[in-house]
Structure 1
Amino acid sequence: MSNNAKAKVQQQFGPKAEKYRDSSVHAKGADLSLMVESAKLSGNEKVLDIALGAGHTALAFAPYVERCYGVDLTEEMVQEASELANSRGIENVEFLRGDAEDLPYPDSFFDVVTCRFAAHHFSNIKQFVSETARVLKPGGRFLMIDHYAPENSLLDTFINDVDRMRDPSHVREQTLSEWRYDFEQSGLIYEEMSTWDLRLEFANWVERSATPANVRHELVKFLQTAPSHCKETFDLQFNEHGQPDSFCLKVVLLQGTGVRPLI
C-alpha cells in the first residue's frame, strides 16, 4: 500500500475507532456466524484477522480456536479491539499494528486467515492476497467478506464513485472475476461461498464516515441523478422529499484454500 493510501486509511479510521466498535454492520450480522461456520473449526487453529478494525471478527472466532491474532494499520483500532477483548474476558488473542500487504508472520503459520469489510481500502490487492497465501498453511482457509462491483463497467464505476465520494480512503471494490484471478495467481483455490445484498441506511452510513456536509450534498445529487440501471441494481430508496433513504451493496463471502505441495 502506498504511503499516501496508508495515510488516508489512518486519517479516516483513527479518530472514528469507537464508531466502528458500535456499528451494527461491523459488530453484528449473520455474516459473522457464517464466517465462523465456514471455517469448519476443530478448536486447535491459529487464526489471523487482517484489518482487525474494532476486533469483531477476531473476537467471534476466539472462543472456537486455540489463538486468534489480528493486525490493523491504525493504532487506535488495535487499542479499541484490545479493550473490547479485555471487557469480554477474552484472553487467547494477540493484536498488533501491521500492514495487510507486509504481514509480520512466518510462512505457513495460520490455519485460517480472515478479512471482513476491509479489502476495498487496500491499494495493492495482489500483494495482500499473496501475503495471505504465504502465511496460510497448505490446506488452510482464507475467508474474506467484502462488497464487490458488478462485472458491468457502468455499475462498477458507479458504485466505486459512490464509495470514494463518501470515504476518500476507499480504493476499489473489485469484481468477482478480478478476485478469482488474484486468488488463483497466488495459488489459492477460489470459491464463492455466498452472495447477498447488504442494506445500508444512508444517513448512518455517511455519519459513520464523517463525510463533510458539502460532500454529502454532492453525493445526494449523484444518487438522485443516477441512471435507472444503477438505482435498480443497488436498490436505491428515496423518501417523500426525494432524499436517499437507503441502498444495497453487493457482498460476497469468498474462500481461498491453500494448495498442498505436491509429493
Structure 2
Amino acid sequence: MALTLNNANAARQQFGQHAEEYRKSRTHSDPAILDHIIELISLNGEEDGLDVGCGGGHMATTLAKSIRKLVAADITPEMLVQTNKLAEEKGLQNLRFCLADALNLPFQSNAFNMVSCRIVLHHVYNADRAVTEMGRVLKKGGKLFIQDILGLDDPQARNYMDEIERLRDPSHIKNYSMEEWKKFFIRGGLKVIHSEVVSGVYEFREWSSRSGTPVDNVEKIKMMLHNMPELVAKHLKTLYSGGKWSIQMRYILLLMTKT
C-alpha cells in the first residue's frame, strides 16, 4: 500500500498542529543520543547531506554542524519552520529547506553522500519504498542512517502497542519488526555496516502531550495499559508508580552504505 493522500494529509495535520512541541521534545533533542549518532556515522566534514522527515530539526541541525551543507526535508510546512528556527538559534547557515514526501523525494539519483531519517518511518506506509528512495538519492559509497521505533518481538504485543500508538497519534502506521527492517535493506540495495538497539523510558504525560492526544484517547490508553493481556505484558514494559505511567520504547539504530 502506497502512502495515500488521506494519510499524507493526516500527517500534515497532526504534525502541523504540534510542530513546536516536537522542536521542544526532550526525546528528540536528547544530546546523548544525538552525539552518539554523530560518532557512529563518522563524518569527514565534506559531506552534502539530506535529512528526510526533519521534524523539529534536531537531527538536521546536529548533522549540519558536522558537514558541508544539508537539505532538511519534511512533508509538513510547519516542521520546516521549526527546523529553520532551531538552525537560526544555533547560528547555522548551511541548511536549505524542502517540502518533500519520503516516498517521492524530489532529488536526482546519487545526489547526496549522507542521508538520515530519524524517528519517521513508523508514520509511513511502504517504509521499504521510502528506504529505497533514500538509497536512490545516495551516492555509491555514501552513508544512510536510520533511527526508528523497533516493534515488539511478539506479533500480538506489537499489534497491541500499535493500537496504543494510533490512539496517541492518528498518523502512526506501525512499528516495524526486526525481520521487516532486514527486508527493507535488501530491497533498497543497501549494506548494513552497524546496527544496535537502544532503550528509553518515557513518562506517559509528556509522551501523550507532545502529540496533543485527546483526553478521551488518553483515558483509553490508560485502560489498555491497566488491562494488558498477560502475553502482551511480557513484552510491553511499563511502570506505574505514584499514579503515573511510564513506557519503555526500543529504538533501532542502523548505519548503511550503498554498494
TM-score computed with the length of structure 1 as normaliser = 0.94
* Partner of residue 179 from structure 2, selected from 177, 180, 205: 177
Q: Distance in 2 between matches of 1:31 and 1:176?
A: 21
Residue deviations 1:183-224, cap 9 Å, x none? Answer: 111101135522111211001111111111111111110110
Match of 2:249, as an amino acid? Answer: L
Residue ranges of structure 1 left out of the alignment (5+ in a row): none
Structure 2 residue aligned with 1:129: 131
Give the match's secondary structure for 2:254. Answer: strand
Matches within 5 A, 1:7-156: 7-156=9-158
Give the match's secondary structure for 2:101. Answer: coil
Structure 1 stretches of 4+ moved >6 Å: none
1:34, distance to aligned residue in structure 2 (A): 1.8
* 8 Å contact kept, 1:151–1:175: yes
User: Does 2:202 correspond to 1:200?
Assistant: yes
Q: Distance in 2 between matches of 1:87 and 1:255?
A: 28
The number of residues matched between the two structures is: 257
User: Does 2:245 correspond to 1:245?
Assistant: yes
Give the match's secondary structure for 2:102. Answer: coil
Distance 1:107 1:11, change over 3 A: same
* 8 Å contact kept, 1:21–1:54: yes
Match of 1:143, as an amino acid? Answer: F
Residue deviations 1:154-208, cap 9 Å, x none? Answer: 1211221111111110001100110111111110113552211121100111111
1:64, distance to aligned residue in structure 2 (A): 1.2
- Let me know the Cα RMSD of the aligned residues: 1.3
User: Does 2:254 correspond to 1:257?
Assistant: no
Match of 1:179, as an amino acid? Answer: W
Residue ranges of structure 2 left out of the alignment (5+ in a row): none
Q: Distance in 2 between matches of 1:240 and 1:67?
A: 47
1:232, distance to aligned residue in structure 2 (A): 4.0
Identical amino acids, percent of aligned pairs = 30
1:151, distance to aligned residue in structure 2 (A): 3.1
Structure 2 residue aligned with 1:219: 221
* 8 Å contact kept, 2:22–2:56: yes
1:73, distance to aligned residue in structure 2 (A): 0.4
TM-score computed with the length of structure 2 as normaliser = 0.95
* 8 Å contact kept, 2:152–2:235: no
Match of 1:103, as an amino acid? Answer: L
Match of 2:254, as an amino acid? Answer: L
Structure 1 residue aligned with 2:237: 235
Q: Distance in 2 between matches of 1:157 and 1:201?
A: 21
* 8 Å contact kept, 1:184–1:190: no
Match of 1:14, as an amino acid? Answer: G
* 8 Å contact kept, 1:183–1:190: yes
Greater shift, 97-106 or 150-159, is seen at 150-159
User: Does 2:12 correspond to 1:6?
Assistant: no
Q: Distance in 2 between matches of 1:190 and 1:162?
A: 30
Match of 1:257, as an amino acid? Answer: T
